[in-house]
Each structure stands twice: as structure tokens, then as C-alpha cells.
Amino acid sequence: MVKLTGYKKVKAAVFISGTGSNLKSLIKFSKTKKSPISINLIISNNPKAKGLKLGKINKIKKKVFNFKKNYKIENRILFVLKEHEIKVILLAGFMKILSKNFITKFKGKILNIHPSLLPKYKGLNTHQKALNNYEKYAGCTVHFVNSKLDSGKIILQKKVKITKNETRDSLAKKVLIQEHKLYPKAILKVFNL
């Protein structure tokens, strides 16, 4: 971890369920001098999440939780977060919905990245929905998490143009590249930097 002179980085946990490409970009960002956060913990609901490998490579602790018993699991997660002095949670492709109780405990401290220009296309299959509606633009949004799905206050958005023969996959690729840039920028904005 790069330590800044003058102040300490705020400890963050990243929650993932899959590939972890956003996690990768967040780790890279967290190691820069200008980053206000360090990533101290990776949490996943999925033991097979590819992104978990990034924990080993970057010497970041990782924990997998089985979400089937939601209520108890969240209490265990809260305990682990406390243990690691985590102050900020970054959801990055995390496919589980956190309870109101959990969110309240981290009020204003949970961020999420969503692959659409919210408030349009909450939930899943965002790119297909945008194509089905003949949208001219798609994009991504970083927002605070509240108890309603993909509805918290928007921090930053990035638009991408939908081209003529755009497919769901080509659009997903284009948007993902922008996600990797947008999340760090949103973090800087939240910390007023």
C-alpha cells in the first residue's frame, strides 16, 4: 500500500461475483498516490469468481460468503468488515442484493457501478434493453447504494454512443472500458479530490 504523507488512505472492501475487471482497475487506482482509498478486502458470494485470483496476486485478503442464509451471512460480513476496519464498500459486479439493515449500517459509504445510464435500465440485461429501445446512447453510472435497487444518488455517469451494427456484446465491451475509468473518478469525487 502506498502511504500518503499527511493522511492515511481510507480502507475499502470490494464486493464481486464474477470476472472482477472493475476490481482490477480499482486495485490499480488504489495503488496510485492520488487515491484516497486502499483496498484491504475482497468479498464474494461466489467461490468461483475469477476476480478472487486478484486477491492473491495483490496480497489482498479475500472472503467468500454463502448468501443462502442471507440474514446471518450479512451479520458475519459486518463482523469481518469491522475486523478489517473497512470504512467504504465498493460493489463491482456484485450480484446479490444487500438488506436495508446492512445498508443502513454503512449509510452513504456504499458505492456501486451499474452498466446503464441510470435511472434508465435498472437491474439486469441493461445493454439488451438499451438496444431493444433503439437508444442512441448507453453508458455506465456510479451511484451511492440505498435500499432500492440501482436507485441511490448518482455520483458520475459516462455516455457511449451506440453504433449502427451494435450488439449486446460489443456494447458491453465498450461500456466496460468506460466503467474502469469512471469508478476511480467517482471515488475522487466522493472524497472531494
By annotation, the residues acting in catalysis are 114
Q: Shortest gap between Cβ of 176 and ligand GRF (angstroms)?
A: 5
What are the φ and ψ backbone dihedral angles of 21, each rounded to 5 degrees? Answer: -70, -35
Please work out the total of residues on this chain that contact ligand GRF, with binding judged by CB under 6 A. 14
Q: Which residue, 35 or 116, is less far from ligand GRF as judged by CB?
A: 116
Take residue 131 and report the three cell numbers written for it. 438496444
Task: Give the SS3 label for residue 162.
Answer: coil
Cα–Cα distance, 147 to 6 (Å, whole number): 35
Q: Shortest gap between Cβ of 34 and ligand GRF (angstroms)?
A: 22
H/E stretch holding 61: strand 61-64
Cα–Cα distance, 31 to 38 (Å, whole number): 7
Strands laid side by side in the 61-64 sheet? 61-64, 37-44, 10-16, 88-91, 110-114, 137-144, 154-161
Q: Which residue, 16 or 98, is less far from ligand GRF as judged by CB?
A: 16
In sequence order, which residues have a C-beta less than 8 Å from that of residue 191 and are 6 or more positions away?
A: 10, 36, 37
Pick the closest to residue 7 from 35, 42, 41 (CA basis).
35
Binding mask 74-103 for ligand GRF (x = CB under 6 A): ------------------xx----------
* Single residue of 52, 179, 182, 187 touching ligand GRF by CB under 6 A: 179
Q: Is 115 in the site for ligand GRF (CB under 6 A)?
A: yes
Stretch that binds ligand GRF, among 7-15, 67-75, 110-118, 147-155 (CB under 6 A): 110-118
Q: Is 152 in the site for ligand GRF (CB under 6 A)?
A: no
* Single residue of 62, 114, 158, 174 touching ligand GRF by CB under 6 A: 114
Q: Is 21 in the site for ligand GRF (CB under 6 A)?
A: yes
**Residues forming the site for ligand GRF (CB under 6 A):** 16, 18-22, 51, 92-93, 113-115, 176, 179
